[in-house]
Amino acid sequence: MRRFIFKTLPILLLAVGISMAHAQDKIKIKVGVSVGNAEQTFEVVKKVAARDGLEIQLITFSDYLQPNEALAAGDLDANAFQHKPFLDSQIKARGYKIVPVALTITAPLGIYSKKYKNVDQLPVGASIGIQNDPSNGNRALLLLQKSGLIKLRAGVGENGVNATPLDVIANPKKLKLVELDAAQLPRSLDDLAAASVNNDYAVKAGLSLRRDAIVVEEAKGPYANLIVTRAEDKDKPWVKKLIKAYQSEEVRKFIETEFKGSLIPAF
């Protein structure tokens, strides 16, 4: 009887060890995303990750400031909503110990109008809405410059130096640049001649980049979105699983099929 117990004990311990290992493999994390297309995409990421033992709980945000604050505070394990220039500006301003770990999508910025079909129709003195945060405001100004509507002083706008309306040195149409919170811009289109709108807010407001934008940012550039974690977590196994799930062929096909060019896989 004792021999039987001693022989079976290692087997039982091995089984318990395997069971515990499987339990440890099944990890639950909280990921912060913006409402809209990021939320839609992550519903697919969740399904892919679940097959690899990673359970994702989505926490949605309606602005661009809370997700980094929540991540740094430990209320999230990761977030996926921002490009590197915005992340860098947040880290510099607030001292967050958070880092990018993977690329997700590129969401081209657009200038939208409910009154005009192209930039040539914009009248003298027209009010143009731009984002009031440094990185996205910079994108808007570069897009206006690309359209020939304004000219920025040399040395700003690129290479990590954000432009502001104070850097405009030529403005032939005497456009009035109205700085607003990014989330407010779609709702302000009725009162503005045009406005620069981030893709996720545009989609939420029923705007189409192809149909409604009068100027569109180039798809390739420094504004690919990122998965971000706390610096202390960046090498943890669940991070690798999260990246693998997002950068899967299943997610790539969903982005290409669902968004038809308004969002582009950056991986």
The DSSP secondary-structure symbol of 205 reads T
Encode pLDDT of 130-187 as tens digits.
999 998 999 999 999 999 999 999 999 887 689 999 999 999 999 999 999 999 999 9
Q: Does the fold of domain 110-216 match that of domain 26-108+222-265? A: yes
Mean pLDDT of the chain: 90
Q: pLDDT band at 18, cuts 50/70/90?
A: very low
**What single string gives the DSSP state of each residue in 49-118?**
HHTTTEEEEEEEESSSSHHHHHHHHTS-SEEEEEEHHHHHHHHHHH---EEEEEEEEE---EEE-SS-SS
Encode pLDDT of 51-102 as tens digits.
999 999 999 999 999 999 999 999 999 999 999 999 999 999 999 999 999 9
Contact predicate 31/59, CB 8 Å: yes
Task: Read off the pTM.
Answer: 0.74
Per DSSP, the three-state class of 45 is helix
Domain spans of the chain, in order of start: 26-108+222-265, 110-216
Domain 110-216 has CATH 3.40.190.10: yes
Among 229, 213, 227, 259, residue whose Cα is nearest residue 110 = 213
Topology at the third CATH level for domain 26-108+222-265: D-Maltodextrin-Binding Protein; domain 2 (3.40.190)
